[in-house]
Amino acid sequence: MKKRIGHLFVTILTVTSLVACSSGAPSGTETKQESGGETAKVEQKIIYALPKEPEQMDPTLNTYSRSSTVLQNLFRGLYKIDESGKKAVPALAESHEIDATGTKYTFKLKKDVKWSDGKPITAQDFEYSFKRVLNPEVGSGAAFYLYYIKNGLAYNQGKAKAEDVGVKAVDETTLEVTLESPTPFFIELLCVTAYYPVRKDVVEGKDGWTKSPETYITSGPFMLTELKPKEKYVLKKNPNYVEASKVKLDTLEIVFIESSEAELAAYSNGEINVSDSVGKEAMTQFQSTPEFVSVPRIGTYYFDFNASRKPFDDPKVRKAFSMAINREQIVSNILQSVEKPAFGMVPYGIPHATQAGKDFREVVGNQFQENTEEAKKLLADAGYPDGKGIPEIVLIVMADQADKDVAQAMQNMWKENLGVNVTIQTFESKVYWDEIEQGNFSIARDGWTGDYPDPMTNLDLFEGVNTGDDIRWSSAEYDRLLKENREISDQAKRMDNYVKAEKILMDEMAVMPLHFLEDQYLVKPNVKGVLKNYIGHTIFEYAHVE
Examine the domain organization and report whether 215 and 72 are in the same domain.
yes
The reported pLDDT for the residue numbered 150 is 98
HEC string for 192-249:
CHHHCCCCHHHHCCCCCHHHCCCCCCCCCCEEEEEEECCCEEEEEECCCCCCHHHCCC
Does a structural domain hold residue 544? Answer: no
- Cα 199 to chain center, whole Å? 24
The reported pLDDT for the residue numbered 282 is 87
Examine the domain organization and report whether 371 and 300 are in the same domain.
yes
Examine the domain organization and report whether 58 and 197 are in the same domain.
yes
The reported pLDDT for the residue numbered 520 is 84
Element (H, E) at 31: none
pLDDT per residue as tens digits for the range 96-122 = 999 999 999 999 999 999 999 999 999
Helix (H, G, I), strand (E, B) or coil at 394: strand
Instruction: Tell whether the model's pLDDT for residue 395 goes beyond 90.
Output: yes
Does a structural domain hold residue 45? Answer: no
Does a structural domain hold residue 540? Answer: no
- Average pLDDT on 241-247 reads 97
Examine the domain organization and report whether 307 and 239 are in the same domain.
no
Examine the domain organization and report whether 386 and 451 are in the same domain.
yes
Cis peptide before 311 (omega within 30 of 0): yes
Does a structural domain hold residue 533? Answer: no
CATH of the domain at 351: 3.10.105.10
Element (H, E) at 443: strand 443-449
22 pLDDT tier (thresholds 50, 70, 90): very low
Examine the domain organization and report whether 154 and 300 are in the same domain.
no
The reported pLDDT for the residue numbered 141 is 92
CATH of the domain at 140: 3.90.76.10
**Contact call for residues 133 and 177 (beta carbons, < 8 A):** no
Instruction: Tell whether the model's pLDDT for residue 33 goes beyond 60.
Output: no
Using CA atoms, how far apart are residues 90 and 360, in angstroms rounded to an integer? 28
Does a structural domain hold residue 77? Answer: yes
The reported pLDDT for the residue numbered 57 is 96
Burial 270-301 (b: 16+ CB within 10 A, else e): bbbbbbbbbbbebbebbeeeebbbbbbbbbbb
The reported pLDDT for the residue numbered 272 is 97
Examine the domain organization and report whether 405 and 498 are in the same domain.
yes
The reported pLDDT for the residue numbered 39 is 52
- Average pLDDT on 168-191 reads 95
- Average pLDDT on 402-419 reads 97
The reported pLDDT for the residue numbered 20 is 32
**378 backbone φψ class: left, alpha, beta (φ>0; ψ -120 to 50):** alpha
Q: How many CB atoms lie within 10 A of CB 112?
A: 9
Does a structural domain hold residue 3? Answer: no
In the chain, % of residues over pLDDT 70? 92
- Reference 280, options 400, 146, 414; nearest CA is 400
Examine the domain organization and report whether 241 and 97 are in the same domain.
yes
Task: Work out whether the CA dihedral 450, 452, 454, 457 comes out positive or negative.
Answer: negative
Helix (H, G, I), strand (E, B) or coil at 499: helix
- Average pLDDT on 87-92 reads 92
Which residue, 208, 226, 245, sits at the end of a domain? 245
Examine the domain organization and report whether 366 and 235 are in the same domain.
no
The reported pLDDT for the residue numbered 40 is 62
Using CA atoms, how far apart are residues 406 and 334, in angstroms rounded to an integer? 7
Does a structural domain hold residue 345? Answer: yes
Domain containing residue 352: 296-518
Which residue, 214, 245, 276, sits at the end of a domain? 245
Q: Mean of the per-residue pLDDT values for the chain?
A: 90
Strand partners, 180: none
Does a structural domain hold residue 530? Answer: no
Instruction: Tell whether the model's pLDDT for residue 244 goes beyond 90.
Output: yes
pLDDT per residue as tens digits for the range 373-390 = 999 999 999 999 999 999
Decide: pTM greater than 0.85. no
321-335, 482-496, 525-539: least confident range: 525-539
Split into its structural domains, the chain has a count of 2
Examine the domain organization and report whether 133 and 234 are in the same domain.
yes
- Which of the two residues, 77 and 277, has the higher pLDDT score? 77
8 pLDDT tier (thresholds 50, 70, 90): very low
- CA distances for 74 relative to 80, 233, 543, angstroms: 12, 12, 14
Using CA atoms, how far apart are residues 537 and 531, in angstroms rounded to an integer? 8
- Cα 136 to chain center, whole Å? 23
Examine the domain organization and report whether 311 and 448 are in the same domain.
yes
Instruction: Tell whether the model's pLDDT for residue 432 goes beyond 80.
Output: yes
pLDDT per residue as tens digits for the range 272-319 = 999 988 877 888 899 889 889 887 788 999 999 999 999 999 999 999
Helix (H, G, I), strand (E, B) or coil at 323: helix
Which residue, 211, 228, 245, sits at the end of a domain? 245
- Which of the two residues, 492 and 487, has the higher pLDDT score? 492
Instruction: Tell whether the model's pLDDT for residue 535 goes beyond 80.
Output: no
Examine the domain organization and report whether 190 and 311 are in the same domain.
no
